[in-house]
């Protein structure tokens, strides 16, 4: 397993299996589920794109004019497009507005594995989108991990 995080550019071969970790971050206040997922998938030969920046600055102006912010968003958009699997976790107690946006952007991609336990503030919206676009929806962490592994054919 190789892990890439912004701001470092990611380099992947055409043949690499790439997993993008989309999901709750909430300016760093959401649980670090990304680290937990990399631990349970560490036996796999995959490239993991983890957008949770080690040195996120919550004071950045979220504007296209802010180069650091723009680079972060561009890194994420490029990673989502390159990924073979988008592992999307909506943590209970979080809001994850950007993840909801990403769900809409990639609902038709065929690359999504979605985990959304009870307690996520817009779980009903996630359920309807997943049903509409035939996206597997895991209600527990364990089912989410199993679905990711199945999608990676391991």
Domains and CATH numbers, the chain: 2-53+66-151 (3.40.50.450)
Question: Averaged over 35-40, what is the pLDDT?
Answer: 96
> Can you tell me the distance from the alpha carbon of 138 to that of 141, in angstroms, rounded to the nearest whole number?
7
pTM: 0.95
Contact predicate 17/45, CB 8 Å: yes
> Can you tell me the distance from the alpha carbon of 90 to that of 112, in angstroms, rounded to the nearest whole number?
13
pLDDT of residue 28: 67
In this predicted structure, the answer to whether residue 118 has a pLDDT above a threshold of 90 is yes
> Can you tell me the distance from the alpha carbon of 43 to that of 45, in angstroms, rounded to the nearest whole number?
7
Helices and strands in the chain: count of H runs, count of E runs: 5, 6
Q: Which of 1-15, 54-68, 121-135 has the lowest mean pLDDT?
A: 54-68
Q: Which residues contact 13 (CB under 8 A, 6 or more apart)?
A: none
In this predicted structure, the answer to whether residue 154 has a pLDDT above a threshold of 60 is no
Q: How confident is the model at residue 24 (pLDDT cuts 50, 70, 90)?
A: confident
pLDDT of residue 30: 73
């Amino acid at each position: 397993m190789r892990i890439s995080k912004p701001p470092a550019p990611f380099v992947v071969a055409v043949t690499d299996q790439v997993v993008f970790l989309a999901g709750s971050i909430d300016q760093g206040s959401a649980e670090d589920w990304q680290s937990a997922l990399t631990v349970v998938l560490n036996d796999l030969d995959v490239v993991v794109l983890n957008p949770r920046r080690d040195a996120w600055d919550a004071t950045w102006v979220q504007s296209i004019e802010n180069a650091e912010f723009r680079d972060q968003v561009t890194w994420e958009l490029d990673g989502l497009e390159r990924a073979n699997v988008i592992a999307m976790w909506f943590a209970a107690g979080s809001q994850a507005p950007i993840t909801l946006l990403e769900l809409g952007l990639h609902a038709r991609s065929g690359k999504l594995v979605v985990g959304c336990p009870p307690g996520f503030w817009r779980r009903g919206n996630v359920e309807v989108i997943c049903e509409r676009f035939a996206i597997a929806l895991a209600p527990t962490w364990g089912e989410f991990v199993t679905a990711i592994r199945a999608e990676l054919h391991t």
